[in-house]
Amino acid sequence: MVEAQAATLQGASTAQQGQVPGVSALGQRSQAGGTVLEAIDLTKRFKQFVAVHELSFNIRAGEVLGFLGPNGAGKSTTVGMILGLIRPDSGTVTIMGQELAQDQSLVPRHVGAIIENPAFYPFLSGRDNLKAHAMAVGGVSDARIEELLKLVHLDERAKDKFKNYSLGMKQRLGIASTLLTDPALVILDEPTNGLDPAGQREIRAIIPRLADEGHSILLASHMLHEVEQVSDRVAIVRKGRLITEGNVDDLVRRGGYIEVRFEDADLTAAMRAVRAVPGVEQVSEEDGRLIVVAPESLGASINRALAETGIYASAISPKHSTLEDLFLEMTEEQPAA
């Protein structure tokens, strides 16, 4: 995580954001209808070490972007540049269409982030802690505080002291604190780190609700199954470089295949018949079954081609890879030539 003393970065009040009278902040984002965050060719060096190299990606309004990479990939450095905590050597960060280098107030006005454990008063209740944070930024109504307590499922425990909260409850209160001023972009850096399965599930349930409200989410996490469940798109980085980006479903489908099983068959003849099917890219044999790299829609054509040669499959099943499969394939170290 970015080394910073502040546990939570919050937006400024609605009045400070220059909001159009009669139009909500979310409404303005919808009207803008475009990219909330854009990183363009970001590069950062620490002496001879290149932490981030010409990295570009964007996040649209109401979208969850999973930001993935192994340790040392440059994720935290990138988050630091987005938050204005680290100055890039080259490249540009734009927030709501404006360059961060030209206006550092863009972060407090439009970004909410948890980059370390949220800091709260242990002897105050959850509600009173949010009120304290609200007083610090100004312009936050009591109604907004109650809305957020309900959003993160703490409304029934709002009177309890923070010190008696579970780790998951503390993290949910931290997320609520980032939303006090309705930021366009919410950055969650390892939000389920250290939580038990129940706490992880609670955080996963909140993220889509934030997107439904119109917030854009940058989710940096090493929990690949978590990212796969809640993200619209993912960006995978390795050694500071973007190696792939795209829709989650499209990316995992890219690694899919068709499995063909037999009770008893001449596998050499079966492979020959399947290879002749238009659209089949590759066929291999593993443990008495065929692994066919081909679009899922070709299952019927493969079955017909086998039957025409007198070979009958006991099962033809499309198989999908997972985000973890893709991540490991993309980020594993290649042996030196």
Torsion of CA 80, 85, 88, 94, to 10 degrees: 80
Cβ(200)–Cβ(291) below 8 Å: no
CA 332 to chain centre: 20
Res 254: pLDDT: 65
- Give the C-alpha separation, 205 to 297, whole Å: 33
Same domain, yes or no, for 109 and 228? yes
Q: Is 1 inside a domain boundary?
A: no
Same domain, yes or no, for 24 and 146? yes
Res 228: pLDDT: 83
Q: Is 331 inside a domain boundary?
A: no
pLDDT tens, 30-42? 434 588 999 999 9
Last residue of a domain, one of 192, 225, 251: 251
Same domain, yes or no, for 239 and 166? yes
Same domain, yes or no, for 127 and 202? yes
Last residue of a domain, one of 251, 266, 299: 251
pLDDT-derived band at 10 (thresholds 50, 70, 90) equals: very low
Same domain, yes or no, for 158 and 290? no
Res 13: pLDDT: 35
pLDDT tens, 193-218? 888 888 888 888 899 989 988 899 99
pLDDT-derived band at 233 (thresholds 50, 70, 90) equals: very high
pLDDT above 50 (res 154): yes
Res 14: pLDDT: 36
Same domain, yes or no, for 179 and 267? no
Last residue of a domain, one of 231, 251, 271: 251
Cβ(291)–Cβ(283) below 8 Å: yes
Please count the structural domains in the chain.
2
Q: What pTM was estimated for this model as a whole?
A: 0.72
Same domain, yes or no, for 219 and 277? no
- Give the C-alpha separation, 109 to 318, whole Å: 47
Same domain, yes or no, for 206 and 270? no
Structural domain harbouring 269: 257-319
Cβ(216)–Cβ(61) below 8 Å: yes
Report DSSP letters for 291-329, one per residue.
Answer: EEES-GGGHHHHHHHHHHTT---SEEEEE---HHHHHHH
Q: What is the mean pLDDT of the chain?
A: 84
Sheet holding 233-238, edge to edge: 8-9, 111-114, 185-189, 216-220, 64-68, 233-238, 241-247
Minimum mean pLDDT range among 2-6, 108-112, 125-129, 333-337: 2-6
Res 278: pLDDT: 94
